[in-house]
Amino acid sequence: MDDTAVGAIRTALSERFGEDLAVDPALPGLDELARIAGHCSHRRYLPRPVAPELLRLLCAAALSAPSKSDLQQCDIVIVSDAAIRKAIAATIADMSWIEAAPAFLVFVANGERLPLLARLRGKPFLNDHLDAFFNAAVDAGIVLGNFVRAAEAVGLGCCPISAIRDHPGVVDDLLRLPRRAVPVAGLCLGWPAGPGEISPRLSLGTTVIENAYSERDLAAEIDAYDRRRAQLRPYRRQRNLARWGQAPSYGWSEDKARQYAEPTRGDFGNFVRGKGFCLD
Amino acid sequence: MDDTAVGAIRTALSERFGEDLAVDPALPGLDELARIAGHCSHRRYLPRPVAPELLRLLCAAALSAPSKSDLQQCDIVIVSDAAIRKAIAATIADMSWIEAAPAFLVFVANGERLPLLARLRGKPFLNDHLDAFFNAAVDAGIVLGNFVRAAEAVGLGCCPISAIRDHPGVVDDLLRLPRRAVPVAGLCLGWPAGPGEISPRLSLGTTVIENAYSERDLAAEIDAYDRRRAQLRPYRRQRNLARWGQAPSYGWSEDKARQYAEPTRGDFGNFVRGKGFCLD
């Protein structure tokens, strides 16, 4: 079993990072490590429901994640009402899997409870600034990541949807989010209809730093990644041909540069401030 | 094996949330789910090093997490230089485990690459606002959570350290963080010296929402949690006795209200803006 897991880990990480990593076959938990290393997003699902009891179990597992100062600032909204899900999906173009997925969740950064604790216990709340918002958002990210692990452990597939923040006011209204609570990401969930594809990543030389950042040629690193990725997983279509035309070589850098050449979520800051967070 | 795992999951989640959850024994991956549900922080470690190859393997596994729009905005700094770690620890009171842990990492939200892609590919970067910062921070949270899962899979224990943001400028200087890169959390890592303690959490009735938030009596929910937690895991000492005195009943709400009655990280927003992020 472990020999298989060692091979699965090395294959997945080699495909992902272009590096052959050492794996000690004597380590426990290699099956689990293989699932973590082999993570794939899934956007197509079998027509098989996710039982409500399983959904609740996965939420509990996810909410067992570490939480900044034990503040517990992530909530999970299970969107079982088809009309609500449809209304959320209507704000997002080109993501048919949001409506098609057997289950859909929203992870919420909830900073509502912290100032309430101060009021309940007769204390001043002296930390209404960026850190409070930051902690709640990062906590939600940790819980989201943990949920994906729990879901993949039992064989489910996921696709996080940050685009629910494209029109956060709509989601806010639909889910009746409290003051100081903002959506962080949605999550499509279901039993995968097929195998996933490993998404190649920047090399570990770019993203894992020993002690301190040093001078480096990021342009060359990104170029090498573009080329490694193009061999394994070339983009199937070029983004916004009307504006940018057909690029002779289209890699990650071109795709992301095109994506962020369109203004998006410029009102997110106003939304967050409008919900009662101070970002000073 | 699965029967044991079912019992372990139900016991851990009952202790955590005060609720007896249904677990289908036919599900695959229950051992892994049991580890997720049984997560504990560890602050005391055996005097046994974490091999550099294992650390790199865990970083690779962690960086296999989902990433917002494939932007890959989390870096991991492995702090192997004892002087750097000591200087970080010196900014944080009462956390001896930062220096004592066999390994110490820093998870960084790195927004440096995104505008660089625009420059490299001759495109405008039209999204320099809160969302860019938010995405990088949440990505770092997801990778941090994934790292904890990978570490616990092989038997390691972790303790995240958000207090590295108490004096972010010091960490920034020591790690020579690039422009638009900020520390999100540190992480102590090692082979646990003993069993951990499950941290009881707010009930799922408070943090798992069906479709939309409704009117609720949060004060009563928090009070019930204070009482449930006091039975299982009473606080060993009261925070800031000099200012607040001895409370006859000291629970989570009192502890957190006292913690946030002291100003902390009021300069985090200025630090983030100073690093080049726009928070509008």
Extract the tokens encoding B162.
């958000």
Residues of B in contact with A272 (CB under 8 A): 130
Region of B104 on the Ramachandran plot (φ > 0 left; ψ -120 to 50 alpha; else beta): beta
Extract the tokens encoding A172.
């806010």
pLDDT score of B211: 98
Q: Which of A170, A186, A52 is nearest to B68 (CA)?
A: A186
- Which of B86, B179, B189, B213 to mutate against chain A (most A CBs within 10 Å)? B213
B212, exposed or middle or buried, with CB in 10 Å at 0-12, 13-18, 19+?
Answer: middle
pLDDT score of B2: 54
- Give the strand pairing for B103-110 and A208-210: unpaired
Contacting residues for A8 by C-beta, under 8 A, at least 6 apart: A34, A37, A38
Q: At what angle do helices B130-153 and B30-37 cross, to 10 degrees?
A: 110
In what side-by-side order are the strands of the sheet with B74-78? A208-210, B74-78, B103-110, B181-190, B157-161
Coil/strand/helix, residue A186: strand
Domain-wise residue ranges, chain A = 3-37, 52-194, 217-265
Rounded to two decimals, the pTM is 0.98
A249 interface with B at CB cutoff 8 Å: no
| Amino acid at the residue A84 | I
pLDDT score of B26: 96
Reported as a single tens digit per residue, the pLDDT across B139-159 is: 999 999 999 999 999 999 999
B135 interface with A at CB cutoff 8 Å: yes
A177 interface with B at CB cutoff 8 Å: yes
Extract the tokens encoding B2.
């699965």
Residue ranges for chain A with pLDDT beneath 70: 1-2
Q: Please give the ipTM for the structure prediction.
A: 0.98
Distance in angstroms (rounded) separating the CA atoms of residues B214 and A102: 24
Reported as a single tens digit per residue, the pLDDT across A49-105 is: 999 999 999 999 999 999 999 999 999 999 999 999 999 999 999 999 999 999 999
Average pLDDT, chain B: 97
B56 interface with A at CB cutoff 8 Å: yes
Where are the strands (E) in chain B, listed by range? Answer: 74-78, 103-110, 157-161, 181-190, 208-210
Which whole number is the average pLDDT over B203-220?
Answer: 97
pLDDT score of A12: 98
Q: Which of B55, B102, B59, B85 is nearest to B174 (CA)?
A: B85
Residue linked to tokens 């199937």:
A236
Contacting residues for B7 by C-beta, under 8 A, at least 6 apart: none
pLDDT score of A1: 46
Residue linked to tokens 């930051």:
A134
| CB–CB contact B36 A160 (8 Å) | no
CA-CA-CA-CA torsion sign (B104, A110, B216, B214): negative
Coil/strand/helix, residue B78: strand
B122, exposed or middle or buried, with CB in 10 Å at 0-12, 13-18, 19+?
Answer: exposed
Coil/strand/helix, residue A188: strand
Q: Tell whether the model's pLDDT for residue B233 goes beyond 90.
A: yes
pLDDT confidence bin for B280, thresholds 50/70/90: very high
Q: Does residue A193 contact residue A116 with C-beta atoms inside 8 Å?
A: no
* C-alpha of A12 from chain center: 19
pLDDT score of A2: 55
**Phi and psi at residue B61, in whole multiples of 5°?**
-60, -45
| Shortest Cα–Cα distance, B232 to chain A (Å) | 15
Interface of B with A in 89-128 (CB under 8 A): 108, 110, 112-114, 116-118, 120-127
Q: What is the CATH number of domain A52-194?
A: 3.40.109.10
Cβ burial B233-261 (10 Å sphere, 16+ → b, else e):
eeeeeebeeeebeeeeebbbbbbbbbbbb
* C-alpha of B15 from chain center: 20
Extract the tokens encoding B220.
């009563």
From B15, which residue of chain A is nearest by alpha-carbon distance? A64
From A145, which residue of chain B is nearest by alpha-carbon distance? B142
| Element holding A210 (H helix, E strand) | strand A208-210
pLDDT score of B1: 47
Which whole number is the average pLDDT over B72-77?
Answer: 98
A245, exposed or middle or buried, with CB in 10 Å at 0-12, 13-18, 19+?
Answer: exposed
Coil/strand/helix, residue A187: strand
